[in-house]
């Protein structure tokens, strides 16, 4: 499908989505959110896609929600329309998703990256929640996901002051998994995505579901959840294939079922 605000490309078993509103530094307007969801729907439905990569440009992953679009909104209409409810769907995807962040990831851009399962950053990446400078606050999960990622001290400081964090600090603080020279970011992200996409899809999806339980439940419940799906995965072809291949000293031939 052709889109106006994003570009989609399938690379082997990886579905790449590149945000493409260069004149607005990839600011997230309603059209972009809608198109992003349509592309994600397509990749989630496609059994030949095992991992999704979300990227921006070298200058900006995304500079936030579109301020020009938001500036004219009024309450109660924004409440009645449940503005940004569609953005929540991005964070509810079941296949593994990696954000490749170069340049600015501010406001909604930082929140979008946080909706992915992990973030790889270019060495020029800058993360921030500058909504406080606009007289508002993060509205797509930033206060929650950033705090879970960084802990209270740094998240509160960033949300209250609006200061930006560079790639090095973001890596040290645990916000990003790895930092790469910006010209190698996409290649390295696609490499990791390919590694994930070649594993058995039920096991990557269940792993994602289990890790995310950490943020929803107690340790005992989380471990019980993990145990139930660990038992269930013995019903898959790929569990038999993966274990037999190890015993027979060969590469597994996963069927993703
Ligand atoms: C709309 C944006 C934009 C945004 C940049 N642009 N960010 N348009 N929404 N979030 C536009 C600019 O208006 C400009 O368009 C063009 O992109 C280039 O931006 P410049 O400012 O000229 O670039 P530069 O000087 O390099 O500065 C880059 C920047 C700055 C530091 C990233 O653009 C910036 O501060 N942007 C806003 C960041 C922000 O506050 N984000 C949070 C948004 S609120 P023109 O047409 O003038 O050339 C948010 C809330 C989410 O995300 C939840 C709410 C419910």
- Report helix, strand or coil for 93: coil
> Which residue's CA is the closest to the ligand 1 atom numbered 24?
25
Query: Cβ(128) to ligand 1 under 6 A?
Result: no
Predicted ipTM of the assembly: 0.98
Q: Which residue among the candidates 111, 113, 122, 171 is catalytic per the annotation?
A: 111
Ligand 1 centroid to 27 CA: how many Å? 7
pLDDT per residue as tens digits for the range 157-181:
999 999 999 999 999 999 999 999 9
Query: Cβ(238) to ligand 1 under 6 A?
Result: no
Residue 250, Cα to own-chain centre: how many angstroms?
Answer: 33
Burial readout 196-227 (b: 16 or more C-beta within 10 A, e: otherwise): bbbbbbbbbbbbbebeebeeeeeeeebeebbe
Query: Cβ(64) to ligand 1 under 6 A?
Result: yes
What is the average pLDDT across 63-77?
A: 97
Q: Which residue among the candidates 50, 64, 107, 108 is catalytic per the annotation?
A: 108
Nearest by Cα to 107 from 134, 129, 132: 129
Residue 113 among the catalytic residues: no
Confidence class of residue 1 from pLDDT cuts 50, 70 and 90?
A: confident
Give me the percent of the chain exceeding a pLDDT of 70.
100
């Amino acid at each position: 499908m052709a889109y106006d605000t994003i570009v989609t490309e399938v690379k082997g078993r990886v579905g790449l989505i590149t945000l493409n509103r260069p004149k607005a530094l990839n600011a997230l307007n309603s059209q972009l959110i809608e198109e992003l969801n349509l592309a994600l729907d397509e990749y989630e439905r496609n059994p030949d896609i095992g991992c999704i990569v979300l990227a921006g440009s070298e200058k900006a992953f995304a500079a936030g929600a579109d301020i020009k679009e938001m500036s004219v909104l009024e309450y109660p209409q924004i409440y009645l329309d449940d503005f940004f409810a569609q953005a929540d769907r991005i964070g509810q995807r079941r296949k593994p998703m990696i954000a490749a962040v170069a340049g600015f990831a501010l406001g909604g851009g930082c929140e979008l990256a946080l909706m992915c399962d992990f973030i790889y950053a270019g060495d020029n990446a800058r993360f921030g929640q500058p909504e406080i400078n606009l007289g508002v606050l993060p509205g797509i999960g930033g206060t929650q996901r950033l705090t879970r990622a960084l802990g209270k001290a740094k998240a509160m400081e960033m949300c209250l002051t609006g200061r930006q964090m560079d790639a090095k600090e973001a890596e040290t603080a645990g916000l990003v998994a790895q930092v790469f020279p910006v010209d190698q970011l996409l290649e390295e992200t696609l490499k990791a995505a390919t590694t994930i996409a070649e594993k058995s899809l039920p096991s990557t999806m269940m792993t994602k579901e289990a890790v995310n339980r950490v943020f929803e439940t107690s340790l005992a419940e989380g471990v019980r959840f993990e145990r139930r799906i660990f038992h269930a995965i013995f019903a898959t072809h790929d569990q038999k294939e993966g274990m037999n291949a190890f015993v027979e000293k060969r590469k597994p031939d996963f069927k993703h079922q």
